[in-house]
């Protein structure tokens, strides 16, 4: 009997040990998800992520074939030509330029007015550039042939001080122009146009309007970078691909401008996939590891300079770079001459359109217009970050709704 009692006690102890071990493994599993790098547990988190995610395959995907433009180029004969001018400026970076160009072309065409080539104004006082410093003038004017008349300068006999200022909402409609813009134009003869962005709406409409072809052409077929900037971006992209030999030359671009994140507070409101609408470097790094990207993945981060908040991303992805780390020395002093310059914004925007994967830290026009460019070129790997509570998911669960719902305006422009 005594022997049987000892056997029973031993069996109970053995079962208890297995239960304790299972609880330890389970606790470590959730700790690996909940603890965040940047604390004393950074190495622990990194080791656990490596352990639990080693079998998850990185969601790299070949680009689909580039789509073909399906808009019909309108003709000038369809509009009565008038003697006035529409002037405007491009402001706040290339993501705004794309939308501002479209609205200006639509307004000028509807009015039959001449469109004056815009200047480019940054967010800092005195940051003003000529159109040709960033964009190809000849390519733009050629794209507008038969659509709207473009002139390089306002005639000397017209004083810009006497031109009426008019604001229009982004993606302005012909009804709005007829009601709010045309009466001012007819009265004053010339107008200065400014686009207002009350909300970011890049979804395609249910019914295709008459101005959609003009908008498609202006957004996706008119702006080309001038040669020096185009070549610089191609050089940076090539360097990033060289650094990505372990992933067959593929890299990720993350829109992670710290100044924007600070302004948003990163508390956010709900969206389609998760409760947060913006994410910091630490959260995005953990998200990328969880959906399968390994530590050797090369990541390009938007922003002017390296910020200490990016250290937590570099803990999990040592090959994390900003532009100043991989730009040629001779270009750095001129193009990175001031904090938040237009050149820097252009570089970030177009590298984000060229990467194999794009991840926006915040919603907004940068994300929306990068997505439009990528959809046209077949680069549809756009993931929205999320707080992942378990590992029973597919990376495709986090694809941008612009892609999986095909509801981006770009799908109205490409076939």
Does residue 212 lie in a domain region? yes
Specify the range with the lowest mean pLDDT, choosing from 43-52, 189-198, 242-251: 43-52
pLDDT interval class at 159 (50, 70, 90): confident
User: Against a cut of 0.85, is the pTM above it?
Assistant: no
pLDDT interval class at 50 (50, 70, 90): low
Q: Give whichever of 34-38, 328-332, 381-385, 393-397 has the largest mean pLDDT.
A: 381-385
Examine the domain organization and report whether 202 and 309 are in the same domain.
Answer: no
Examine the domain organization and report whether 341 and 390 are in the same domain.
Answer: yes
Q: Residue 314 has what pLDDT? A: 95
Examine the domain organization and report whether 241 and 103 are in the same domain.
Answer: no
Specify the range with the lowest mean pLDDT, choosing from 16-30, 85-99, 198-212, 390-404: 16-30
Examine the domain organization and report whether 81 and 210 are in the same domain.
Answer: yes
3-state secondary structure the chain: CHHHHHHHHHHHHHHHHHHHHHHHHHHHHHHHHHCCECECCHHHHHHHHHHHHCCCCCCCCCCCCCCCECCCCCCHHHCCCCCCEEEEEEECCHHHHHHHHHHHHHHHHHHCCEEECCEEECCCCCCEECHHHCECHHHHHHHCCCCCCEECCCCCCCCHHHCEEEEEECCCCHHHHHHHHHHHHHHHCCEEEEEECCCCCCECCCCCCCCHHHHHHHHHCCCCECHHHHHHHHHHHHHHHHCCHHHCCCEEEEECCHHHHHHHCCCCCCCCCCCCCCCCHHHHHHHHHHCCCCCCCEEEECCCCCCHHHHHHHHHCCCEECHHHHCCHHHHHHHCCCCCCHHHHHHHHHHHHHCCEEEECCCCHHHHHHHHHHHHHCCCCEECCCCCCCCCCCHHHHECHHHHCCCECHHHHEC
Cβ contact 168:177 at 8 Å: yes
Does residue 388 lie in a domain region? yes
Does residue 303 lie in a domain region? yes
Cβ contact 377:64 at 8 Å: no
pLDDT interval class at 160 (50, 70, 90): confident
Examine the domain organization and report whether 61 and 105 are in the same domain.
Answer: no
Total tally of structural domains belonging to the chain: 2
Does residue 35 lie in a domain region? no
Examine the domain organization and report whether 135 and 174 are in the same domain.
Answer: yes
Please state whether beta strands 128-129 and 251-255 pair in parallel, antiparallel, or not at all (unpaired): unpaired
| pLDDT over 70 at 341, yes or no | yes
| pLDDT over 50 at 41, yes or no | yes
Domain that holds residue 257: 54-65+226-413
Examine the domain organization and report whether 301 and 352 are in the same domain.
Answer: yes
Examine the domain organization and report whether 265 and 331 are in the same domain.
Answer: yes
């Amino acid at each position: 009997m005594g022997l049987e009692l000892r056997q029973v006690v031993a069996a109970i102890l053995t079962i208890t040990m297995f239960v304790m071990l299972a609880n330890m493994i389970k606790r470590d599993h959730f700790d690996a998800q909940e603890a965040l790098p940047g604390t004393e547990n950074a190495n622990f988190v990194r080791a656990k992520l490596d352990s639990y995610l080693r079998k998850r395959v990185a969601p790299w995907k070949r680009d689909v074939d580039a789509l073909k433009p399906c808009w019909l180029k309108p003709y000038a004969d369809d509009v009565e030509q008038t003697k006035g001018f529409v002037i405007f400026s491009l402001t706040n970076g290339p993501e705004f330029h794309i939308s501002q160009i479209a609205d200006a072309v639509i307004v000028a065409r509807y009015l039959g007015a001449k469109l004056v080539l815009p200047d480019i104004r940054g967010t800092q006082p005195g940051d003003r550039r000529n159109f040709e410093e960033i964009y190809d003038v000849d390519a733009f004017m050629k794209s507008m042939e038969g659509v709207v008349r473009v002139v390089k300068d306002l005639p000397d006999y017209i004083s810009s001080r006497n031109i009426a200022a008019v604001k229009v909402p982004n993606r302005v409609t012909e009804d709005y122009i007829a009601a709010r813009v045309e009466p001012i134009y007819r009265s004053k003869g010339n107008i200065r146009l400014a686009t207002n962005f009350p909300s970011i709406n890049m979804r395609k409409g249910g019914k295709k309007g008459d101005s959609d072809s003009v908008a498609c052409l202006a957004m996706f077929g008119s702006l080309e970078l001038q040669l020096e900037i185009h070549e610089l971006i191609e050089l940076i992209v090539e360097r990033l691909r060289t650094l990505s030999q372990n992933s067959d030359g593929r890299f990720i671009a993350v829109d992670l401008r710290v100044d924007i994140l600070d302004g948003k507070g990163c508390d956010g409101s709900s969206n389609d996939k998760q409760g947060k609408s913006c994410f910091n470097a630490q959260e995005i790094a953990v998200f990328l590891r969880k959906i399968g990207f390994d530590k050797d993945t090369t990541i390009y981060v938007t922003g002017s300079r390296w910020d200490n908040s990016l250290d937590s991303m570099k803990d999990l992805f040592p090959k994390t770079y900003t532009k100043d780390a991989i730009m040629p020395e001779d270009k750095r002093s001129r193009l990175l001459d001031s904090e938040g310059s237009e050149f820097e914004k252009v570089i970030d925007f177009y590298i984000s359109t060229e990467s194999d994967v794009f991840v926006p830290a915040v919603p907004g026009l940068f994300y929306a217009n990068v997505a439009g460019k990528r959809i046209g070129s077949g680069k549809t790997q756009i993931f929205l970050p999320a707080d992942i509570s378990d590992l029973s998911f597919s990376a495709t669960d986090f694809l941008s709704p612009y892609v999986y719902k095909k509801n981006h305006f770009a799908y109205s422009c490409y076939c």
